[in-house]
Structure 1
Amino acid sequence: MQLIWLRSDLRLHDNTALSAAAARGPCVAVYLLSPQQWHAHDDAPCKVDFWLRNLRELSHVLGELNIPLLIRTATRWDDAPRVLGQLCTELNVEAVHVNEEYGVNESRRDAAVTKTLDAAGIGFYRYLDQLLFKPGSVLTKTGTYFQVFSQFRKVCYARLQGALPRLIAAPRIQAPTAISSDPVPSQVEGFETPHEQLRALWPAGESEARRRLEHFAQGQIDYYKDQRDFPAKPGTSQLSAYLAAGVISPRQCLHAAVQTNQGEFESGSVGVITWINELLWREFYKHILVGYPRVCRHRAFRPETEALAWRDAPDELAAWKEARTGLPIIDAAMRQLLETGWMHNRLRMLVAMFLTKNLLIDWREGERFFMRHLIDGDLAANNGGWQWSASTGTDSAPWFRIFNPLSQSEKFDAEGLFIKHWLPELAGLNTKTIHNPAAMGGLFGVADYPLPIVDLGQSRERALAAFKHLPSRLDIESAASSG
C-alpha cells in the first residue's frame, strides 16, 4: 500500500506526489489536522475553513478513483511522526509520498517523519510540486541564493526557454480497497466558521480554481498590466487562495498563460508577461525561505534594520487593524480584508507601508495580523511583501520610498468607487473630497468618520530620520566578525 500525505496540494490534477503514489500501486490518502500548529502559524479561520471545504471536494473526486481519504489529528507537527507511523503500521504501508513544503518548521517536521519511517523500513519520497524550480537549483555564479528578484527572474527565464515544467497526469482509477474514507469535519475547534458571504466569494474545489484560471487567461490577462493596480476593477486573477492551498498549481498557471500568449513568455502580451512575473515573485520568496531561513524566525532579512526603533503605539495599531485611521483608502482596504479574507495587492503594499513608515510600527505586527485574516495567507509571500514594504527585506523598497496614501488613492481610485463601496458613510462625498474628508473640516456628512490619526508629512520625516541613522550592513558584518 502507498500513502499520499496531502498538505498544501489539495487537488487531483498535476499533483506530483499523488500521481507518483498511485503509479506504484494501490494508494490511500491522509490529511493531518494540526490545530495547535495552525494557531502557532497564525493561520486564519477563513483559511482553515477553505482547507476543509476543499478537502471535502477532493475526497469526493478521489472516491471516484477508489482512493480513500483518511483524516487524522496531529495537534502539533511534533506528533506527525507518531501518527503517520501508526497509520503506516495499520495499513501495511510500503512508502509515504509528499510534495515538498518550505520553511523551518516544515523542514523539521519532514526530517522527523523521515527518521521515524526509516527506522520502520518505510520509504519517504518527496517531490517538487508547489514551485517551478527546486530551491538550490537557481543560484548566483558564486553558488548562493539570489537576493535580488530581477537577477533571479533572468535565470528562471533562461531555464524556461529550454522547456516548461511538464504537467503531471492525474492518477487512474484503482481497484476498490476495503478502506473507507473518513468524513471531513465541517469545523476544527478553535477556528470559527466564517460568514456565508465570505465563503461564497471563495467556492471550494479544483473545478472552481480551473474555471477562474480559464476565465482570467482567456479574458482578463491581456489587460492585467494596465488594470491590476486599480482595486475597483476586476483586474486580478483571484487565484491566490487556490494557489496557497494547492487547489491549482503554478505549473498549470504558467501553461495557461503561455498558451494564451502563443507559446511566448518574454514577448507578446504585456499582460501575460506581467502575470508570469508575479508567479516568479511567488517563486522567489519561497526560495528565500530556504536560502535565508532567518525570515522564518521573525527576523528581518537585512540585519542592520533590526536596530530600528519601532514605536510602541497600541492605540494607533488598533486603529489600523479596525479601519479607523481616518485615511479612506487605508480604511477601505482594511475593511476589504476583514470582510472578505483578501486584499488587493496594491493596497497590501499601501497599508503595509503606512503601518511601518507613517506609524513606524514593527512590520511583524502587520505580518501577523494579515496571516490571521487572509484566506490566501502564505508565509513566504506575506513575509516577503511586508519586508519589502518596510524596507527590511530582500530586494526591498528603498527606505526613502514612502507611499502617500492620498496621492495613491487619487491615482488608483480616482472616482472613489472602491472607497465608497467599503466606506458607505463617505458615499455622499465628491471625487475630490472622498480621498481626504479631513480637508472639509467638520462638515455634515463626515461626522461619523474619524480624523487622520497621523500627520502624513511629519510622520514621513520621522520615518526617514529613523532609517537614515541605521548602521550599514557593512558595519553590522564588521562588528560580528570582530566579535
Structure 2
Amino acid sequence: MNDLVSKQAHTLMWFRSDLRLQDNQTLVAACEHAAREGRSVRAIYIATPTQWLIHDVAAIQLDFIERQLNQLAVQLAALGIPLEVRHLDTFSLIPAFLAQYIQQWQVDRVFASSEPEFNECQRDQAVAAKVSLVLHQQHCLLAPLSVLNLSGQMYKVFTPFAKKWREMARAKPIQTLNAPNAMTKPIATPEPIVLDVPKVSSKAWAIGEEAALAQLRLFAMTKAAEYKASRDFPAIDGTSHISAYLAVGILSPRQCVVALLSHYPDALVHDESPGRSWLNEIIWREFYRHLLVAFPRLSKAQNFNQFADNVHWRNNETEFKAWCDGLTGYPLVDAAMRQLNQTGWMHNRLRMVVASFLTKHLLIDWRWGERYFRQQLIDGDLAANNGGWQWSAGTGCDAQPYFRVFNPITQCEKFDPTGEFIRSYLPELASVDLKLIHKLKIPTQEQRFTDNHYIAPIVEHKFARVRALTELAAMKRGGSAKAVDLDKEIFG
C-alpha cells in the first residue's frame, strides 16, 4: 500500500443494498462530513459468498449486483471516489476487517445504510462495537417502528397501518436528493469488478440508475392509472417491473413515491385516486419491512401465527420437485414456475397462485417454497418474500384465512382468458383447445399418443381442498378469519 495514500485522512462509505448515487442519503451524508472535516471519501462493498449461500441469494441477483457495482464504480470514479470490493466469507469476519481497514486508511467514520434483517442487524451491532459506524435508514420511506398504533405498538393489520402511514407521509414534503458533487478530480477508470460467486446472466434486465428511473417514470406516467385493472393478468405488461431495482437499492422507495405523486398528487389523500392502488403496493412493502424489525423471529423462518406450528405439513419431496419444475398438471401453476425458472422473475398474481397451490393443495411447508423463490428470484427480498409466502399460507400477519384456497383452474380461466401466457411457457399446449385448458380436461400422453404431451394433475382439486381445510384448521384459533385484499402485489 502506498504510504502517502495510507496517511491521508478518509471517510468511508460502505455500500450495501443502496447501489446508487441519486437519493442516497448515506452517501450524501458521508460526502458532507468529509467536506467539513477536510477528508477524502473512499467507498467499499463487502461481498460475502458464504453468507449469501446461507441466505439463498439467487445467482441471477448476484450477477445483477455485479453489473451494477461495475457501473457504480465508474460513476464514483467521476466524483473522485474509489470503490473497493472485498470478499469476506461471512458477516462474522467484517468487524475485525473494518477495524484494521480504518487504521490503514485513517478513517474517522464509516457511513452505511441500515438493513432490517436480523443477521444484518447483528452484524452492525458487532461492527459498531469496533468502529465509529453511522447508520442511515433509507430502505423504507418511513422508518420501522415509527408507524405505531395508539398503544405504541406495531400494527398487525395492514389497513390501519396504511392509513397511519399515509397520514405521516403527507405531514411533510417528500423530496429526493441529488447525487453528491465531485469530491476531487476524476480518478482513473476502475478495473472490472468480478464477484467470486456462481452467477446466472441477468442481461434481460437493463442495469443502472438511469434505466431504472426511466422504467419507474414511464410506469408512473403511462400505466399506474390502469394498474388496478391490469395487474392481475400475466399476459398484459401492466406491472411496474422495478422490484429488482428496489431489492438491491438501485432505486429508493422515496423515488417511487415522488414519481407517483408527480402524476397523482392526490394518491396520499383520496381512495379514488388513480395512483392509490400502486401506492398501496409501496405501503405493503413498507409493512413487511416494519414487521421484520418489530418481530425478528420472521427473519428466522418462524410462523408469525404461532398456532401454525401445530400444522402437520406433508412435505412430499417428489411433489415438491414437480412443483419446482412446473410439472404439476395445472397449466397456470406450471407456466408460472417455468417463468420463474427461465427468467428469475414471476408475475405477482402468479406468485400467490403457486404459493397457495404448494401450501394448500400439496400441504408443503411454506418455508420450502419461500426458500426456492429466494434461490431463483432476481428481486429476492426477505421481507417481501417472507411476507408474501406467509400471507398465502395463512400463517402470517394479516394473512389470507387458512380456509381460503385458490382454485388453480378458475384462476387460469379468469386471469389468462386467452391462454396467451400459459402457451408461452407450455408449448406442449399450443394445439390444445383453450376450453379444455380452462376446464383442466387436457388429454394426457397416453390419450394423445404423442411425445409432445402434458402430464395429468398430481392431485385432484376438490380432494386437496378438503384435505387442506382439515389439516390447516390447526391455525383457526390463531386469529381472525376476516378476508383481506386478495389482489395485492408485492412489487411484481
TM norm structure 1: 0.92
Letter in 2 for 1:105: N
The residue correspondences of 1:114-125 to structure 2 (distance < 5 A) are 114-117=128-131, 123-125=132-134
The residue correspondences of 1:344-423 to structure 2 (distance < 5 A) are 344-423=347-426
Letter in 1 for 2:250: V
Aligned counterpart, 2:86: 72
Displacement after TM superposition at 1:185 (Å): 3.1
Aligned counterpart, 1:480: none
* Aligned CA distance change for structure 1 residues 309 and 54 (closer, same or farther; 3 Å): same
Q: Does 1:461 align with 2:474?
A: no
Deviations 1:162-220 (A, max 9, x none): 1243312311011249x87763533423x1333xxxx2321211111011011111111
Q: Does 1:148 align with 2:151?
A: no
Is the contact made by 2:245 and 2:251 (CA closer than 8 Å) also made in structure 1?
yes
Letter in 1 for 2:134: Y
Is the contact made by 2:144 and 2:290 (CA closer than 8 Å) also made in structure 1?
yes
* Aligned CA distance change for structure 1 residues 85 and 165 (closer, same or farther; 3 Å): farther
Is the contact made by 1:68 and 1:181 (CA closer than 8 Å) also made in structure 2?
no
Aligned counterpart, 2:119: 105
Of the three residues 185, 190, 199, the one matched with 1:192 is 199
Is the contact made by 2:394 and 2:400 (CA closer than 8 Å) also made in structure 1?
yes
Of the three residues 44, 57, 79, the one matched with 1:43 is 57
The DSSP-based 3-state class of the residue aligned with 2:12 is: strand
Kindly tell me the number of residue pairs found equivalent between the two proteins: 463
Is the contact made by 2:267 and 2:273 (CA closer than 8 Å) also made in structure 1?
no
Aligned counterpart, 1:479: none
The residue correspondences of 1:264-283 to structure 2 (distance < 5 A) are 264-267=267-270, 270-283=273-286
Aligned counterpart, 1:304: 307
* Aligned CA distance change for structure 1 residues 367 and 188 (closer, same or farther; 3 Å): same
Letter in 1 for 2:406: F
The DSSP-based 3-state class of the residue aligned with 1:2 is: strand
Provide structure 1 residue ranges, at least 5 long, that are not aligned to the other structure: 118-122, 475-483
Name the CA distance, whole Å, in 1 between partners of 2:478 and 2:402. 14
Letter in 1 for 2:95: P
Letter in 2 for 1:425: E
Letter in 2 for 1:357: K
Displacement after TM superposition at 1:49 (Å): 0.6
Name the CA distance, whole Å, in 2 between partners of 1:34 and 1:95. 22
Is the contact made by 2:77 and 2:190 (CA closer than 8 Å) also made in structure 1?
no
Q: Does 1:54 align with 2:68?
A: yes
Name the CA distance, whole Å, in 2 between partners of 1:83 and 1:433. 62
Displacement after TM superposition at 1:444 (Å): 5.9
Is the contact made by 1:428 and 1:445 (CA closer than 8 Å) also made in structure 2?
no
Once the two structures are aligned, what percentage of the paired residues are identical? 41
Aligned counterpart, 2:22: 13
Name the CA distance, whole Å, in 2 between partners of 1:346 and 1:424. 21
Displacement after TM superposition at 1:110 (Å): 0.2
Name the CA distance, whole Å, in 2 between partners of 1:311 and 1:253. 41
Deviations 1:49-104 (A, max 9, x none): 10010011111111111111011122100011122222211110110101110111
Provide structure 2 residue ranges, at least 5 long, that are not aligned to the other structure: 1-9, 35-39, 480-492
The DSSP-based 3-state class of the residue aligned with 1:29 is: strand
Aligned counterpart, 2:137: 128
Is the contact made by 2:216 and 2:242 (CA closer than 8 Å) also made in structure 1?
yes
Is the contact made by 2:234 and 2:347 (CA closer than 8 Å) also made in structure 1?
yes
* Aligned CA distance change for structure 1 residues 389 and 164 (closer, same or farther; 3 Å): farther
Aligned counterpart, 1:85: 99
TM norm structure 2: 0.91
